[in-house]
């Protein structure tokens, strides 16, 4: 049996379609046939050599949804249910060591320095090779945290693996209930739209989205945003005024950066109220530094700034649950579906910002 896969062999070069033999499974591993794979903005950064974690050659793709073909041994999912051939599953893209300070003592496994991530830092030159989701088949190591999923359109679920889980991680770090709170979200990509649905579901009283794309703002509105502000139509001063006017001149209780651009923080600091919280979730690759006015933006405001790095199994479970409740929204987030052989076109659609989210379907 063979698996076709799209391989990044050289930075800034198109991915190449390669045929792999399906290897003998390591003990406890699962062979999964992909049903859908999300194309993430990170994949584009990796293809350009901007993500320092990327080994070459690599099969990209860390947002897989698939069907179990073979299991070498016995394995249960995160709910303790035995995994069987034919099950539809999703998995935590990261595998941690369960042995270090972050895994054992601080209990922040997403910070494990030994974290291995499918499609991000596992090369296809190493056994068992099929370690990214731009592939017909993948091998999931025994340590992988797996969740059985409902048989809804698998394309809806691709965002759960990465942006969805990261969004849920951000909300997990907010200690107070969202009830009666105003949440401003910067950036209406898949991460930002997921944050809209999460904020709404968790009880926020007002959800405001800022983005430069009218098409994305429409979707944010459908996803539950009360107010959408187009950066190109309403300048920063007017946006600040607008947000102050609807929050009793205080500013937002919570601002979530989901734009992936550090420069957005300069506005975010203005929008968060004194004593509020600023979650930085979108910045995923090294970027230029930005100036921080420590007195005015941080200390005088007594704000809490929270960086959010990836996610763990709990957040994946929450993201899947949220999607299963609102599949119609998440189906809309995926604006393009392409076959595996067109993965390069998929990356182009992301780069040109033509697509909100692209899924590779099989
Ligand atoms: Zn991703
Ligand atoms: Zn660890």
Q: Which two tokens stand for residue 269?
A: 């600091």
CA of 297 to the centre of ligand 1 (A): 30
* Ligand having the closest approach to the CA of 101: 2
Q: What is the pLDDT of residue 354?
A: 87
CA of 104 to the centre of ligand 2 (A): 7
Residues 222 and 239 in one domain: yes
CA of 161 to the centre of ligand 1 (A): 8
Q: What is the pLDDT of residue 299?
A: 98
Residues 179 and 298 in one domain: yes
Residues 156 and 204 in one domain: no
CA of 61 to the centre of ligand 1 (A): 8
Residues 10 and 151 in one domain: yes
CA of 165 to the centre of ligand 1 (A): 10
CA of 225 to the centre of ligand 2 (A): 37
Q: Total domain count for the chain? A: 2
CA of 182 to the centre of ligand 1 (A): 27
Residues 31 and 60 in one domain: yes
Residues 138 and 217 in one domain: no
Residue 276 located in a structural domain: yes
Residues 103 and 16 in one domain: yes
**Which CATH number do you get for residue 30?**
3.90.180.10
Query: Which residues lie near ion ligand 2 (Cβ < 5 Å)?
Result: 96-97, 100, 103, 112
pTM for the full model?
A: 0.96
**Which CATH number do you get for residue 239?**
3.40.50.720
Residues of the chain with pLDDT under 50: none
CA of 190 to the centre of ligand 1 (A): 10
Q: What is the pLDDT of residue 353?
A: 87
Residue 105 located in a structural domain: yes
**Domain that residue 278 falls in:** 174-307
CA of 167 to the centre of ligand 2 (A): 22
Q: What is the pLDDT of residue 107?
A: 97
CA of 43 to the centre of ligand 2 (A): 24
Q: What is the pLDDT of residue 160?
A: 97
* Ligand having the closest approach to the CA of 98: 2
Q: What is the pLDDT of residue 214?
A: 94
Residue 294 located in a structural domain: yes
Burial call 278-312: b when 16+ CB within 10 Å, e when fewer: bbbbbbbeeeeeeeeeeeebeeebebbbeebebbb
* Ligand having the closest approach to the CA of 116: 2
CA of 122 to the centre of ligand 1 (A): 15
Q: What is the pLDDT of residue 58?
A: 98
* Ligand having the closest approach to the CA of 117: 1
Residues 156 and 74 in one domain: yes
Q: What is the pLDDT of residue 185?
A: 98
Residue 169 located in a structural domain: no
Residues 286 and 330 in one domain: no
CA of 42 to the centre of ligand 1 (A): 5
């Amino acid at each position: 049996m063979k698996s076709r896969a799209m391989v990044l062999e050289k930075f800034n070069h198109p991915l190449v379609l390669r045929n792999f033999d399906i290897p003998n499974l390591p003990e406890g591993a699962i062979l999964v046939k992909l049903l859908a794979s999300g194309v993430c903005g990170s994949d584009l950064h990796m293809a350009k050599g901007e993500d320092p974690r990327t080994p070459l050659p690599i099969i990209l793709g860390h947002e897989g949804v698939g069907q179990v073909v073979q299991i070498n041994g016995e394995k249960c999912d995160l709910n303790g249910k035995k995994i069987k051939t034919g099950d539809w599953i999703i998995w935590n893209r990261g595998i941690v060591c369960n042995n270090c300070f972050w895994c054992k003592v601080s209990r922040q496994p997403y910070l494990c320095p030994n974290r291995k991530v499918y499609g991000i830092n596992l090369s296809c030159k190493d056994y068992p090779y099929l370690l990214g989701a731009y592939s017909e088949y993948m091998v999931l190591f025994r340590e992988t945290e797996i969740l059985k999923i409902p048989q809804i359109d698998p394309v809806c679920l691709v965002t759960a693996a990465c942006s969805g889980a990261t969004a849920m991680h951000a909300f997990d770090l907010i200690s107070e209930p969202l009830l009666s709170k105003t949440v401003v979200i910067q950036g209406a990509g898949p991460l930002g739209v997921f944050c809209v649905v999460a904020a709404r579901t968790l009880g926020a009283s007002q959800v405001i989205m800022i983005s430069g794309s009218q098409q994305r703002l429409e979707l944010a509105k459908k996803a539950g945003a009360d107010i959408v502000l187009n950066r190109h139509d309403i300048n920063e001063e007017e946006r600040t005024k607008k947000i102050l006017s609807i929050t009793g001149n205080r500013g937002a209780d919570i601002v979530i950066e989901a734009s992936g651009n550090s420069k957005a923080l300069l506005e975010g600091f203005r929008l968060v109220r004194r004593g509020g919280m600023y979650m930085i979730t979108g910045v995923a690759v090294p970027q230029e530094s930005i100036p921080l006015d420590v007195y005015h933006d941080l200390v005088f405001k007594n704000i809490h700034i929270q960086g959010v790095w990836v996610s763990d199994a709990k957040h994946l479970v929450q993201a899947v649950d949220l999607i299963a409740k609102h599949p119609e929204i998440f189906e809309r987030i995926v604006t393009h579906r392409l076959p595996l052989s067109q993965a390069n076109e998929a990356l182009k659609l992301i780069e040109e910002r033509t697509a909100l989210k692209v899924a590779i379907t099989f």
